[in-house]
């Protein structure tokens, strides 16, 4: 079966243009929020703290705050992107068009992932103006950011298909992902937690994501990078399998 690249690009371009039409909500708002965290925790408080190994506190929290933004924004962008065709009824035109699951994912998920990459670049550029940080493994950091963006864009795509109202679009990003990220070592190393809280933290999957990105920045983290990469890849494949089942069964697509 031939891949309809023209159809995939049409979906991708339409979704990407929507981001630029709503630039304040899509880019400026998360950048301003992250910058406030960096100023308060990184520059103000972090200037008086230093972690073991000579790592400045500001540089330590940059990967965690970037991961917080990536998880919430990737999920929200992809979920809203596929939910709107459902809400307006345009989903039926998409289902009858000569595009399959692969083209649909390339269009919607690819656009959401690219939005996250643009957002990550803006945040890192802004952080460089506030905090002195280095990226120990830039190529691996880019790959890991891309992997996380694609994975959680797939999750957002599933949420957009599952949601039956606008309020459900925010349940996972705001009530699940954001708390898990704050409790997943964004502002601290879990090695500093006393028992039993350190053991409890090990059951938080976001801990491994945050530490994976932190390793690419600092060259050190609480867990090996291979564990973070493996967990992210496994979750990505699980999301692809769920989306394949949804399109094969028609669940939530024809309601």
How do residues 32-85 score in pLDDT, each as one tens digit? 888 888 888 776 666 666 665 667 888 889 999 999 999 999 999 999 999 988
The model's confidence at residue 159, banded by pLDDT at 50, 70 and 90, is very high
| Distance, CA of 247 to CA of 71 (rounded, Å) | 24
The model's confidence at residue 1, banded by pLDDT at 50, 70 and 90, is low
Q: Helix/strand/coil (H, E, C) string of the chain?
A: CCCCHHHHHHHHHHHHHHHHHCHHHHHHHHHHHHHHHHHHHHHHHHHHCECCCCCEHHHHHHHHHHHHHHHHHHHHHHHHHHHHHHHHCCHHHHHHCCCCHHHHHHHHHHHHHHHHHHHHHHHHHHHHHHCCCCCCCHHHHHHHHHHHHHHHHHHHHHHHHHCCCHHHHCHHHHHHHHHHHHCCCCCCCHHHCCCCHHHHHCCCHHHHHHHHHHHHHHCCCCCCHHHHHHHHHHHHHHHHHHHHHHHHHCCCCCC
| Distance, CA of 106 to CA of 243 (rounded, Å) | 13
pLDDT of residue 213: 95
| Distance, CA of 66 to CA of 63 (rounded, Å) | 5
Question: In this model, does residue 99 exceed pLDDT 80?
Answer: yes
How do residues 119-141 score in pLDDT, each as one tens digit? 999 999 999 988 888 999 999 99
pLDDT of residue 48: 61
What's the sign of the alpha-carbon dihedral 44, 48, 52, 56? Answer: positive
For 93-124, give one letter per residue: b (16+ CB within 10 A) or e.
ebeeeebeeebbbbbbbbbbbbbbbebbebbb
pLDDT of residue 53: 63
pLDDT of residue 136: 94
How do residues 210-232 score in pLDDT, each as one tens digit? 999 999 999 988 888 899 999 89
| Rounded average pLDDT over 164-185 | 89
| Residue that the structure tokens 């409890």 belong to | 200
| Rounded average pLDDT over 85-111 | 86
How do residues 176-191 score in pLDDT, each as one tens digit? 998 999 888 888 888 8
* Single pTM value for the model: 0.90
């Amino acid at each position: 079966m031939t891949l309809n690249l023209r159809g995939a690009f049409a979906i991708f371009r339409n979704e990407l243009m929507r981001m630029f039409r709503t630039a304040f909500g899509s880019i400026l708002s998360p950048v301003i929020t992250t910058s406030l965290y960096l100023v308060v925790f990184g520059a103000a408080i972090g200037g008086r703290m230093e972690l073991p190994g000579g790592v400045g506190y500001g540089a330590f929290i940059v990967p965690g705050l970037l991961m917080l933004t990536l998880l919430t924004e990737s999920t929200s962008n992809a979920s809203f992107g596929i939910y709107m065709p459902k809400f307006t009824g345009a989903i039926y035109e998409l289902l009858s068009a000569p595009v399959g699951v692969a083209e649909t994912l390339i269009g919607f998920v690819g656009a959401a992932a690219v939005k996250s990459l643009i957002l990550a670049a803006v945040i890192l550029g802004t952080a460089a103006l506030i905090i002195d940080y280095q990226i120990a493994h830039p190529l691996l950091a880019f790959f890991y950011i891309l992997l996380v963006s694609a994975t959680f864009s797939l999750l957002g795509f599933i949420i957009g298909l599952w949601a039956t109202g606008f309020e459900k679009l925010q349940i996972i990003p705001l009530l699940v992902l954001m708390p898990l990220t704050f409790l997943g070592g964004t502002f601290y190393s879990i090695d500093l937690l006393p028992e039993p809280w350190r053991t409890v933290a090990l059951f938080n999957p976001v801990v491994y994501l945050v530490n994976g990105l932190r390793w690419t920045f600092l060259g050190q983290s609480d867990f090996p990078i291979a564990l973070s990469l493996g967990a992210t890849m496994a979750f990505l494949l699980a999301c692809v399998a769920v989306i394949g089942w949804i399109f094969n069964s028609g669940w939530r697509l024809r309601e």
